Amino acid sequence: MSYDEELEAIKQRKLMELQRRLQEEERRRQLRLQKEMLLRSILTPKARERLANLRLVKPELAEAIEDQLIALAQSRRINIPITDDVLKELLASIYEQTHRETRIRIKEK
């Protein structure tokens, strides 16, 4: 294999990798847009604002809650639109399930 052929093969691999990354990025962007549209249709503006604030502090938790809300709405197990009060109740119940109390004991000698 000559130097030019090898160089061309490297260029082709780089180009294919770049195209694959761009396609993956576009797919993720499309999924995010779909998710935002669904959330816009199932949450009131106040509830969306609360979820956006949660995303600033705990993005992983907000993502999980969004997925749960979409699943609940699609299976019709929750009334739509989800108000801020209902979202607060859901967040409180999730907090109670996942929160662990920390106690520190100091033993004196």
- CATH architecture assignment, domain 3-98: Orthogonal Bundle (1.10)
Residue type, 96: E
pLDDT tens sequence for the chain (109 residues)? 788 899 999 999 999 999 999 999 999 999 999 999 999 999 999 999 999 999 999 999 999 899 989 998 889 888 889 999 999 998 888 888 877 777 778 888 7
CA count, 13 A, side-chain hemisphere, 25:
6
- In whole angstroms, what is the distance from residue 81 CA to residue 84 CA? 10
- In whole angstroms, what is the distance from residue 71 CA to residue 16 CA? 36
